[in-house]
Structure 1
Amino acid sequence: EEATLGEAAAAFRVFDRNGDGFIDAGELGSVLASLGFAAGAGHAECQRMIDAYDADKDGRVDFREFLKFMETAAA
């Protein structure tokens, strides 16, 4: 079942801890750690995860890029 745009926006806000409209490696690491997933994931590994969906190569994921991730994850 596909997530609605509202659900995707809510999920994005969870990761965008500082509310600047972007998810960076530090924010990703913080959320993953709080969920118990990042025991071995350091900054470099989180940056690689960000880079995989960072279409404009600015080192962070914006909402449009996050939507692409959500589409891929749901497929």
Structure 2
Amino acid sequence: MTVTEETAQAIHARILELLESGPVPQEELASAVAVLPDEREPVENWEQTVERVAKKMLSNDEIVLDKSDDPTTYKLPS
């Protein structure tokens, strides 16, 4: 498994963990996912990587994007 694949799996798990506590604003997701700055070092484009993982999770119906919230938030499906 590559560093990028491992990072994507870690991001996936962290997004689910965060959303168990409640909605996360869309524009804050990348910073909320990062636990330690060194976790981001292997990934050149941290925000784009988090966004890519989130989009995949959306397409798999693991999370939802609630545009009726202000600001738009990611949530777990109800």
Q: TM-score range by the shorter chain?
A: 0.3 to 0.5
Taking structure 1 as the reference length, the TM-score comes to 0.39
Q: Normalising to structure 2: TM-score of the pair? A: 0.38
Greater RCO structure (CA 8 Å; 6+ sep): 2
Greater strand fraction, Structure 1 or Structure 2: 2
